[in-house]
Structure 1
Amino acid sequence: MTIIETPSDWPADEAAARRIQDELRDRVVRDEPGPAPGTGLVTGVDVAYDDDRDLVAAAAVVLDAGTLDVVAEATAVGRVAFPYVPGLLAFRELPAVLAALAALPAGPGLVVCDGYGRAHPRRFGLASHLGVLTGLPVLGVAKNPFTFTHGPLGEHRGAAAPLLAGDGEEVGRALRTREGVKPVYVSAGHRVTLDNACAHTLRLTPRYRLPETTRRADALCRAALREATAAR
């Protein structure tokens, strides 16, 4: 388990965080398709908190994209880097996520975040921010649509509907991964297209609503947090 070191220049308030989002947003690469689904490695990242103890734990779990078997995993634990502010969640999670990724024995391949990329009020969610900082292809798969809306979609697996901003821009998609089950909300982060992000999401959900990357990273970061809390 790695101990998180928050960068010395990490923003301390909302205004500074928003300035950084504005500065980095134009660096997002949106015209690369990303790796083909089912090839190479795919890594899930997730974060768990104990706000009472000011603790955060992050996990990175690497899967073989073809078999979905676990190849490697790493965790990082430390203090929370930023207060909870809607739209600025990346500043709360990124130091932990970066530390977990850095602790992996090899490159993570495609990264899947439990959160947003383009489907963010400032078009720069966690998946985009992580991609710009690392240069990795990253996509976001969220459990809810945040501030965006979508029309009806079919009940069958693979049914999708555009996730629309107020100006009509398609910032992501509602995607049904299980028949008759609530959809997930997919958005491109960095160096991957929305079409490919949806294809990866379906490949990563053979049995459950959420991607195997997210399910495994969620379990691992919660276990790391329990261990850190017990140690305190």
Structure 2
Amino acid sequence: MTTVEEAVALQEELAPQVIRTVPDGFSPKVAVGLDVAYGSDDLVAAAVCVDVATLEIVDSVAVRDVTDFPYVPGLFAFRELPSLLKALDRLKVVPDVLVCDGQGIAHPRRFGLASHAGVVTGLPSVGVGKQALGHYDPPGPGRGDWTPLVDNDEVVGRALRTQAGVKPVFVSIGHKIDLDTATELVLRLSPKYRLPETTRAADQLGRRVSAGGVGVQDVTD
């Protein structure tokens, strides 16, 4: 088991590996949403692939697993990422970008779940958080309005209004992406609701499997 001190040290070691630019020719066709649902003594890691053009689900996997890492703010990746990687490994469709329900560089050590997932897999990744880390001015009321998200005088993301008059989400670079591209992608994936369709689909699958166990892949290794 990794200790809290070891986890913090690993984040500090890996954070410089985050690439904050987009690869040449980046044009994602399939985005995968990653989310975790918690039960009484286990968790369900869900990975749902969505066609970026049509927003149709093209593949999905849910894995029931366990974790022995404690609930520590800023270290969620150590609870969730091992199980999410198992779900990713079982997908038949290869995604072009990861969309994580959590933070990327909008993190005290600039290495949240989205950055950790991106560095480990080598895939471009985006963090879409429901809560802000840092300070921001409220964006304008219209869809697509945004303001910088700032932590310790560094811009670490954007408060993005995905729907008019709805609370913003907080978009940050995960890995191999820039803020403009991440913002555009999140808006493309959020035509009707506050959260991207990738996140919504992964959340719904995780909750459904956690509640009923239908279609789940049990993994304990």
Normalising by the smaller structure, the TM-score range is over 0.9
Task: Find 1:189's aligned residue among 147, 171, 174.
Answer: 174
| Amino acid across the alignment from 1:196 | T
- 8 Å Cα contact 1:45/1:61 also seen in 2: yes
SS class of match (1:90) = helix
Task: Find 1:44's aligned residue among 27, 30, 33.
Answer: 33
Indicate whether 1:29 and 2:15 are aligned: no
Q: Quote the residue 2:138 is aligned against.
A: 152
Rounded to whole Å, the distance in 2 between the matches of 1:197 and 1:81 is 32
Distance apart, 1:227 and its partner CA: 2.9
Task: Find 1:58's aligned residue among 45, 49, 54.
Answer: 45
- Deviation readout 1:13-63 (Å, 9 max, x if unpaired): 210101111111111111225733xx411110100112x3x2010111001
Q: Quote the residue 1:205 is aligned against.
A: 190
Instruction: State the percentage of identical aligned residues.
Output: 50
Shift of the 80–227 alpha-carbon distance from structure 1 to 2, 3 Å rule, reads farther
Q: Quote the residue 1:177 is aligned against.
A: 162
- Deviation readout 1:177-212 (Å, 9 max, x if unpaired): 111110000001001111100000100110000000
| Amino acid across the alignment from 2:31 | V
Rounded to whole Å, the distance in 1 between the matches of 2:95 and 2:54 is 16
| Amino acid across the alignment from 1:171 | V
TM-score scaled by structure 1?
0.88
TM-score scaled by structure 2?
0.93
Distance apart, 1:72 and its partner CA: 0.5
Indicate whether 1:99 and 2:89 are aligned: no
May I ask how many residue pairs the two structures share in their alignment?
214
Rounded to whole Å, the distance in 2 between the matches of 1:87 and 1:155 is 30
Rounded to whole Å, the distance in 2 between the matches of 1:172 and 1:200 is 14
Rounded to whole Å, the distance in 2 between the matches of 1:81 and 1:196 is 36
Distance apart, 1:80 and its partner CA: 1.8
SS class of match (1:141) = strand
In structure 1, runs of 5+ residues without a counterpart are: 1-9
